[in-house]
Amino acid sequence: MARSMWRGAIQFGLVTIPVKLYVATESKAGISFNMLHAKDQSRIQMKIYCPADDQIIPRTETVKGYEWQPGEYVVITDEDLEKVPLKTVRSIEIEQFVERDESGDGIAKFVKGAYYIEPDKIGRKAFYLLRSVLEDRGLTAIAKVVIKDREALAAIDPYDETMLLTTLHWPEEIRDVKELDLPDESFEFKPAEKAMAEQLVSAMTGEFNPAAYKDDYTDALRKLIEAKVEGREVAAPAPEPASNLVDLMAALEASVNAAKAARSREKPVSVQEARAAKSAGGSKGAGQAARGRDEGTAKEPARRVASGRSKGVGEEREEKPARRRKSA
């Protein structure tokens, strides 16, 4: 049985809804490491050391302390924290409602942690009334709540048969993108490049199924550890070469073929195969397709892409017979 980590109430105007919060995520064990002394590979022990008494002390003898001036501390107990004069210590104060963010540009970038909300029996009708209104109106409730000794900004959304409270970073905690080394220039894309990229996105678009994903890194790390235990050397995989402007169309075309082949369970065409076929001149090269579609007015390439290339990569327009790609 799951254990709640917070108990209080949702304050919705003059409506009070008693609820509990449960952590919605958990960290799986995966691969863990111990710290060893490099000299003799003995395991290091982390001790809590008191320099005043010059001795190791148990964790049970530690307390929270706030340094209010250099070298001077005031002890803060759990009972003290319960007395903080703030309503959000024991209530989730809904501040406003906003349209639910589906784009990822707004609330999503502030997401910090997630908690399931369980209503107490006495507040179930009010809880599900609020959930129903949020669901029907496509709204998110913005609230404030104190969790683990800190007041947090939060968002409340309908989720499955309950609601999910997502804690958010405060705006001042979000670093400015100006700290990054981003280019000043803008980029122009040829109609052929844009159309091919759109085909790739379409071929890779589908319903999100979390069960289809797994932690491949942990499996690979476990195999590496097993190999080292057995005294076997493990070769590092060769890094994938970065695409350049010359290979961009070939890479896009091969990627579309690979995505479509994966869906039909056929053998995918690799980027290397696409490049080899292009350089050998044995197939309709992606570069030729790009040049052909770029000739004439901007409207004409768009029409050709819509009427011909929308049928799939590697198919010619109606006036030309289809030619099969040669393998390298």
Together in a domain, 15 and 108: yes
Q: How far apart are CA 245 and CA 251, in angstroms?
A: 10
What is the domain count for the chain? 2
Together in a domain, 140 and 264: no
Asked whether residue 96 is assigned to any structural domain, the reply reads yes
* pTM score over 0.75: no
Together in a domain, 285 and 194: yes
Asked whether residue 67 is assigned to any structural domain, the reply reads no
Together in a domain, 259 and 118: no
| Structure-block tokens of residue 281 | 């001149």
Helices 191-203, 299-307: inter-axial angle, 10-degree rounding: 30
Asked whether residue 72 is assigned to any structural domain, the reply reads no
CATH of the domain at 124: 2.40.290.10
Together in a domain, 121 and 156: yes
pLDDT of residue 29: 62
Asked whether residue 315 is assigned to any structural domain, the reply reads yes
Concatenating the DSSP letter of every residue in 10-27 gives: EEETTEEEEEEEEE----
Together in a domain, 194 and 288: yes
Together in a domain, 169 and 250: no
Together in a domain, 197 and 98: no
pLDDT of residue 56: 92
Together in a domain, 128 and 197: no
Together in a domain, 129 and 276: no
Asked whether residue 232 is assigned to any structural domain, the reply reads no
pLDDT tens string, the chain, 328 residues long: the values are 678 888 889 887 777 888 989 888 776 666 788 899 999 999 998 889 999 999 999 989 999 888 888 888 888 887 777 676 677 778 888 888 888 765 444 566 577 889 999 999 999 999 999 999 999 999 999 999 988 878 889 999 999 999 999 998 888 888 787 887 888 888 888 888 888 888 888 887 777 777 877 777 777 777 877 787 787 877 766 665 554 545 677 777 888 888 777 766 545 455 555 555 555 554 444 444 444 444 443 344 433 333 344 334 333 344 444 444 444 3
What's 268's DSSP letter? P
Question: HSE on the CB side for 307, CA within 13 Å?
Answer: 10
Asked whether residue 258 is assigned to any structural domain, the reply reads yes
Together in a domain, 158 and 285: no
Together in a domain, 163 and 306: no
Could you list the residue range(s) of the whole structural domain that residue 322 is in?
A: 188-201+245-328
Q: How far apart are CA 314 and CA 56, in angstroms?
A: 71
Asked whether residue 117 is assigned to any structural domain, the reply reads yes
Asked whether residue 74 is assigned to any structural domain, the reply reads no
